[in-house]
Amino acid sequence: MTTPRHVQARVAPAPVPPEADRWRRTHICGVPVDVLTMEETLVAASELIESGRPHQHVAINAAKVVAARRDPRLRQIIESCALANADGQSIVWASRLLRPRLPERVAGIDFMLRMWEVAADRGYRVYLLGAKPSTVQKAADAARAQGVTVVGARSGYWTPAEEPAVVAEVAGSRPDLLFVGLPTPHKEEFLHRHLDGLRTPLAVGVGGSFDVVAGEVTRAPRWMQRTGLEWVHRMRQEPRRLVRRYAEGNLKFVAMVARDATNRLRRGPRRPGRPRRAAR
């Protein structure tokens, strides 16, 4: 069994971790996404944990791409993340137009559940942060039932004045893996702001995944996931919260992809060995 890295000293995060040089990164509408399958992502995540240095993972969907185009700060945070997966099927489809093609969708909740398996196998210590108190406790119980060593679970409700204590609580538990169930962009900003202080080799934002694991929200059927209609299922369950996000966000994302694809066609294929002329 691999020795957990929580016993190692932690250093400040680097903008571009050396481990990330081993996989390829592309951009969808200006937002980075790593060209990785689920299995490759699990290997990459394990390498990051074993390094002992703090790293941040981010899941990319259409809504986050739209938000990042509007918010340069969010885009910079995503750029600094060691791992960026295609959480939404629409991102995979967009890559077929914009190139290079992403091999598959790596949904955030699926990645979390697979990493629980890795954690149980390798003895990684896990902390769950976010959602309602009852929800995160149910998620922690589900993880423990799978053999995961859960060293802490806390709700996502705290005041700005309480935030340093939350960070200290997480750091004090010495987790190898931290899963944060907060909405975008709060989880990305929180992790980026405190990544060094949290002292965990890999921090993963998982949005509403705790709610699904706790049985409070259902996952869409497989056919809806495969056809990119999972958002319809989610909107039916939480119409007030999600209808505007999906109605506006999906249309904006389609428009962004169409515009970038058109620009790519206009530029044409780049000839090898011949530099592109600078725009005047």
Question: Which of 32-41, 189-198, 217-226 is predicted least confidently?
Answer: 217-226
Sequence-separated (6 or more) residues with CB below 8 Å from residue 258: none
Does residue 240 register a pLDDT over 90? no
Q: pLDDT band for 276, please (50, 70, 90 cuts).
A: very low
Q: Rounded to an integer, what distance in angstroms lies between the CA atom of residue 206 and that of residue 131?
A: 10
Does residue 231 register a pLDDT over 70? no
Task: Give per-residue pLDDT as tens, 132-141.
Answer: 999 999 999 9
Of 266 and 80, the structure prediction assigns the larger pLDDT to: 80
Full DSSP string of 78-138: HHH-SEEEE-SHHHHHHHHHHSSPP-----HHHHHHHHHHHHHHHT-EEEEEES-HHHHHH
Residues 204-212: what's their mean pLDDT? 95
Measured at the CA of 177, the angle between CA 171 and CA 179, to 5 degrees, comes to: 90
Q: What is the pLDDT of residue 21?
A: 57
Does residue 219 register a pLDDT over 90? no
**Alpha carbon of residue 37 to chain centroid:** 14
Does residue 85 register a pLDDT over 90? yes
Q: What is the pLDDT of residue 182?
A: 97
Q: Which of 221, 212, 228, 220 is nearest to 179 (CA)?
A: 212
Q: What is the pLDDT of residue 272?
A: 47
Q: What is the pLDDT of residue 270?
A: 55
Q: Phi, psi at residue 117, to the nearest 5°?
A: -65, -45
On average, the pLDDT of the chain sits at: 87
Q: What is the pLDDT of residue 2?
A: 47
Q: What is the pLDDT of residue 140?
A: 98
Residues 243-269: what's their mean pLDDT? 84
Does residue 112 register a pLDDT over 70? yes
Return the structure tokens found at 69. 């185009």
Q: How many residues does the chain have?
A: 280
Does residue 97 register a pLDDT over 80? yes
Give Cα separations from 194 to 83, 100, 189, 218 (angstroms). Answer: 17, 33, 9, 31
Of 87 and 273, the structure prediction assigns the larger pLDDT to: 87
Task: Give per-residue pLDDT as tens, 55-67.
Answer: 999 999 999 999 9
The answer to whether the pTM exceeds 0.75 is yes
